[in-house]
Every structure is written in structure tokens, then in C-alpha cells.
Amino acid sequence: MHPEWPVLIAVHAMAAAYSILFGAFQLLRRTKGGAIHRVVGRIWVAAMYVVILTSFGIRTLNGGFTWLHGLSVFTFFTVSIGLWAARTARIPAHRSYMAGSYFGVLGAFVGVVAVPDRRIPQMAVNDLPGLALWAGCILLTAGFAVAGTVLLGRARRPNGPAATKASTPVV
């Protein structure tokens, strides 16, 4: 963790990075609705809620709120409605709310890194190796999480005729 980053901002930044990575994974996958989609989706939803909740502890220098806090309130509702839509088998609504929430967090990220006084652009200028290490750790751990989920999903389902024969009792 960068010495100028309070724990709250570090947790917020890590959860935001995970939400961007896991959200991209979900949107780019062709197969939706399976075990992998559900597990990665739960990780994404948890990361999104962490981003939302921690955002309220991050204030401007004068202690106020910004448009990003309004986006957090809106995103809380869109993620929650999208989750409810999935639980009640309203798949088109689920798809719309979750994709919209993802593009919202992506837009917030672009808005944050476009401001030169923010921490990430400052790290890019003043501590590029630290930023690269941080980004590498996020990518590595997210990759391990996805790979583990995929491997776990494959281990739980039969892999074709050989697996079916092995599980069929011989009489």
C-alpha cells in the first residue's frame, strides 16, 4: 500500500479494480447463467458493494460530497435491482442493470483517473513502479480467482462420455 493512501482509499481502489476486472470477465464470456457466472458474479457484486460503501468515507478536502457519491447511491440501487432480477429469473432486466452498473463504475474510474490531482495519476507520475506493482498484484489475484473458479467448475461437471460411463453402475 502506498504510504499516502489511508486504508479506506486502498480498500476502495482494490475493490474498484476487482469490480472492473470481474465485470469485464462476465461481459466478455459467451456462456451466462452457469456456475462460473454465478460465482464470479457474486465476487463482482461483493466488490461493487465494497466500492459503494467505502466511497461514502472518501470526501473532498472540505468534507463534502461529489457527483461520484451520487453515482454510488444510484449504483447501489442498480446493482441491488439487478441482483433481485437474477433471483426472480428476470434475465433481460438482470442483464441490463448489471451491464449498466458495470459501465457506470468504468465511467467513474475514467473520471477519477482523468483528474491529475487524484492519487492514481499522481502515482503514475511520482511512483510508477509502485503503481505497476499494485496493478500487477490486482491482476494476478483476480486471475487466480477466475482460474480457480473455472477449474472448480470443470471438476464438478462430467466431461463427456467417459465420465458418464464411470459414474454409471455396472450390473
Domain residue spans in the chain? Answer: 7-154
Alpha-carbon torsion angle 40, 44, 46, 48, nearest 10: 180
Rounded mean pLDDT of 41-60? 90
Residue 165 is predicted with a pLDDT of 45
Taking the model in full, what pTM does it have? 0.76
* Highest-scoring range by mean pLDDT, 40-44, 59-63, 67-71, 121-125: 40-44
Alpha-carbon torsion angle 51, 57, 58, 63, nearest 10: 150
Select the more confidently predicted residue: 136 or 84. Answer: 84
